[in-house]
A and B are shown apart, each in its own frame.
Chain A
Amino acid sequence: MTPVSGATREVRNEQERDLAFLDSAYTVPDAEIANLHEHGWARLPGLLNAEVVAELRRRLADEPLRPLDALGKSYRKLGGNTAADTDSEPVKFLDHELDSKHNQNHEGMAWRNPFFRRVGTSRRVAGAAVQLMRRDRAVFIQDISFFKPGGGGSPTAMHQDYASWPFDRKGAITIWIALVDVSEDMGPLAYLEDSHREGPLGLAGKLDIRSTYPHLADAKVVAGRALKAGDAQVHWDLTVHGAGPNATDVVREAYLTRFTGAT
């Protein structure tokens, strides 16, 4: 066994102390839980502290980016398509995926790296998820980053997540955690209030879903405000959401965890 130096042990102890924050409870205010159920979104200020955020950023820097066409290629596998088919025409309603200025993603880290699993299943994060869902148990189903590039990052058109996922029903939530301070000109996440009551509206790609469903133009746009690193926002799979362009030179970094009911 390789001996561990005092300095190394001290660094490890320091990291453990920092990450022990993940074992602390986050009490979601009743008003935020009610807002999620009644209006489709919620705020979780200060969900993570600076140490956990810094470690997430450091670990993400070592993770591979998801290929831009990954979602479209997965779609084209349907029906036993050949390899040639999967490399052919992009899926029209996933055109946003191919825009490198739109978002860059890391995905599924918690399924290959124990640190990310610790974050996603922590009392801090998972405990907040079950409170929000008004459940005693849930299932941690996905983690993914959304990095909107600086220097002209493209806007994210208003859309629902549900249409991109392989599930038979609604009911999943996303906890969107800012990893940097996000100003209003960096593309913070905004929602169409009460849109989680709309039912599934289909894939939208770069098309703002309000152009297909004009009545949504009357929906109030909420959130979209500045966030501090470690602050989070939450939405349902049917909540229509999007983001403005990133007009700054700073990458808008976010780490997302997703949960659904266990039954």
Chain B
Amino acid sequence: MIYNGIGHPHYDTLGLQIGQALGENAAFPLVGHDGEIARDEEGEPCT
């Protein structure tokens, strides 16, 4: 799912860049079957 820049009162506030995948933006929590999955300093999931 890629951000396309169309204005929106929520998504405008989260530092998204046009063309960025939502899953790559640390503003959006990653979740799994047991709840939130922590990200490391580079935004990658801690496994």
**Residues in A lying within 8 Å of B, measured CB to CB:** 23, 25, 66, 70-71, 73-78, 107-108, 111, 117, 120-123, 126-127, 129-131, 136-142, 144, 164-169, 171-172, 259-263
With known contacts A111-B27, A168-B1, A66–B33 Cβ distance under 8 A? no
Residues of the B chain whose Cβ atoms lie less than 8 Å from the Cβ of A111: 10, 13-14, 27
In the bound complex, do residue A123 and residue B6 qualify as a contact, i.e. CB atoms below 8 Å apart?
A: no
Interface string of B1-40 (1 = CB under 8 A from A): 1111111111111101000011100011111111111000
Total number of residue pairs linking A and B with CB closer than 8 Å: 113
In the bound complex, do residue A166 and residue B8 qualify as a contact, i.e. CB atoms below 8 Å apart?
A: yes
With known contacts A74-B7, A164-B8, A169-B2, A139–B33 Cβ distance under 8 A? no
Residues of the B chain whose Cβ atoms lie less than 8 Å from the Cβ of A78: 5-7
A76→B29 CA distance, assembly (Å): 29
A-B pairs, top 6 by smallest CB distance, nearest first, are: A74-B7, A126-B31, A121-B36, A166-B6, A70-B9, A262-B23
Other than the given A73-B9, A168-B1, 4 more pairs (CB < 8 A) read A127-B35, A138-B32, A141-B22, A166-B3
What are 14 A-B pairs with beta-carbon distances under 8 A?
Answer: A73-B9, A78-B5, A121-B36, A127-B32, A136-B32, A138-B32, A139-B1, A139-B29, A140-B36, A165-B6, A166-B6, A167-B4, A259-B31, A261-B23
In the bound complex, do residue B2 and residue A168 qualify as a contact, i.e. CB atoms below 8 Å apart?
A: yes
In the bound complex, do residue B32 and residue A140 qualify as a contact, i.e. CB atoms below 8 Å apart?
A: no
Taking the closest CB of chain A, its distance from the CB of B24, in whole angstroms, is 9
Q: Which residue, of A120, A122, A140, A141, has the highest number of chain B Cβ atoms within 10 A?
A: A141
In the bound complex, do residue A76 and residue B32 qualify as a contact, i.e. CB atoms below 8 Å apart?
A: no
Partner of B9, one of A74, A120, A123: A74
In the bound complex, do residue B23 and residue A139 qualify as a contact, i.e. CB atoms below 8 Å apart?
A: yes
In the bound complex, do residue A108 and residue B13 qualify as a contact, i.e. CB atoms below 8 Å apart?
A: yes
With known contacts A108-B10, A166-B7, A168-B2, A123–B34 Cβ distance under 8 A? yes
In the bound complex, do residue B7 and residue A76 qualify as a contact, i.e. CB atoms below 8 Å apart?
A: yes
A117→B27 CA distance, assembly (Å): 11
Partner of A141, one of B2, B7, B28: B28
Taking the closest CB of chain A, its distance from the CB of B7, in whole angstroms, is 3
Partner of A169, one of B1, B10, B11, B27: B1
